[in-house]
A = this chain, B = another copy of it.
Amino acid sequence: MVSLKDISAVCGVSVATVSKALNNHKDIGEETKKHIKQVAKEMGYLPNSAAKALKTNRTHNIGILFTDEAHNGLTHDYFASVLDSLKQTVEAHGYDVTFINSSRKWPNRMSYLEHARYRGFDGVVIANVNFYDDEVEELAGSDIPLVTIDKLYANRIAIVSDNVNGMKDLFTYIHEMGHRRIAYIHGEPGPVTQNRLTSFYRTAEEFSIEVPDCYIKESAYRDTEGAGRATKELLKLKTPPTCIIYPDDFSCYGGINVINKMGLRIPEDISVAGYDGIRIGRHIEPQLTTIRQDTDRIGAQAGKKIISLIEKPKSTVIEQVIISGELYKGATVGKI
């Protein structure tokens, strides 16, 4: 590996001069600068990120925490898309993305925070984690520049999908289609579920629709089995709902299966709606009625914010950025 020293030898100048020339400092003569750059290129010089980091305390590396206890992290459509977009955004600014090791197996493993410090990440983005994990809290409570997705922490920037208006729009549309008996199978507790559920009730109230308790069920996100069971229970009620909202598109398919097996037709006999807007949903008939979360913007905003936080901490406003989703009408909610 060719280093500054090698270049300095060839050019007959000091390493200091080479360093400054390559970094475009103004106190190096144009001539020398050009020459040094030329030689550096010819010799195939590459900076050493470790040395750079050691000296400057900046790594140009962003840690991302993406736990997948249920082996769900990367294969989770929503988060994979967000990560993809985040990655593109920060990479366009010269930052790299490194996963914060979430392995529980490594013997001398560090906590998330320790790991982030060890690697010297300039900033950290948290997504799709068990927010009630002590280590996550520790990380969120540290002094590392940090952006979270879909979860708020005190004095931290959060990019959140607008679950409140999303659910409201969905409900409103369903209502417009004439439905009055609307059930909601919600996901496990957490900030996302909380917002959707609250919005669900509030919107129902606005339309003066009463929602019997038995219309509200819980089934884990992306659990098709659970969604199927809940669907069965709902349909067995004396007055079953005419439309069921699911925790997400994936589990919606669990419901659809059960419905099909019972010999009911969608949307003639029963309507269903998902949440997320996963890609496949628009490619299978009938197209899913759902709220398409804007993963592109969520990821891009998270990227912009973390970089801003790193590069101009003073002028970066700590806020909660709400990204609205979009109703996709599909064909699984029918007119009544």
Point out residues on A near B: beta carbons under 8 Å. 1, 46-51, 53-54, 59, 61, 68, 71, 73-75, 77, 80-81, 83-84, 87-88, 91-94, 96-99, 101-103, 105-106, 108, 110, 114, 117-120, 224, 250, 253-254, 256-257, 260-261, 279-280, 283-285
A253–B284 contact, CB under 8 A? yes
Q: Specify which of B51, B68, B92 is in contact with A103 (CB 8 Å cutoff).
A: B92
A50–B120 contact, CB under 8 A? yes
B285–A260 contact, CB under 8 A? yes
Q: Specify which of B80, B118, B250 is in contact with A47 (CB 8 Å cutoff).
A: B118
What B residues does A51 contact at CB under 8 A? 50, 54
Report, nearest first, the 8 A-B pairs whose CB atoms are least far apart: A91-B103, A50-B53, A92-B105, A98-B98, A74-B84, A50-B54, A224-B283, A50-B50
CA distance A88 to B72 in the complex (A): 12
A50–B59 contact, CB under 8 A? yes
CA distance A280 to B250 in the complex (A): 7
CA distance A91 to B67 in the complex (A): 12
CA distance A243 to B256 in the complex (A): 26
B283–A284 contact, CB under 8 A? no
Q: Given A75-B84, A80-B80, decide whether A96 and B94 contact each other with a Cβ distance below 8 A.
A: no
Distance (whole angstroms) from the CB of A115 to the closest CB of chain B: 8
Copies of this chain, count:
2
B84–A48 contact, CB under 8 A? no
Extra 15 A-B pairs, beta carbons < 8 Å, given A49-B119, A73-B84, A91-B105: A46-B110, A46-B114, A46-B117, A46-B118, A47-B118, A49-B50, A50-B50, A50-B53, A50-B54, A50-B120, A94-B101, A97-B98, A256-B284, A257-B283, A260-B285
Taking each of A50, A51, A68, which has the highest tally of chain B beta carbons within 10 Å of its own beta carbon? A50
CA distance A88 to B92 in the complex (A): 27
B92–A96 contact, CB under 8 A? no
What B residues does A83 contact at CB under 8 A? 74
The contact sample of 11 A-B pairs, CB cut-off 8 A, is A46-B110, A54-B54, A61-B98, A74-B80, A75-B77, A92-B105, A96-B98, A97-B99, A98-B99, A253-B284, A260-B285
What B residues does A106 contact at CB under 8 A? 91-94
Distance (whole angstroms) from the CB of A250 to the closest CB of chain B: 7
B48–A54 contact, CB under 8 A? yes
Taking each of A61, A114, A119, which has the highest tally of chain B beta carbons within 10 Å of its own beta carbon? A119
Q: Specify which of B92, B120, B253, B254 is in contact with A48 (CB 8 Å cutoff).
A: B120
Q: Given A54-B54, A98-B96, A98-B98, decide whether A254 and B279 contact each other with a Cβ distance below 8 A.
A: no
Distance (whole angstroms) from the CB of A203 to the closest CB of chain B: 29
**Chain B residue nearest to A85 in the complex (CB):** B71
CA distance A74 to B261 in the complex (A): 33
Q: Specify which of B59, B71, B224, B285 is in contact with A84 (CB 8 Å cutoff).
A: B71
A75–B81 contact, CB under 8 A? yes
Q: Given A92-B106, A106-B94, decide whether A1 and B117 contact each other with a Cβ distance below 8 A.
A: yes
B74–A283 contact, CB under 8 A? no
Distance (whole angstroms) from the CB of A106 to the closest CB of chain B: 5
**Chain B residue nearest to A249 in the complex (CB):** B280
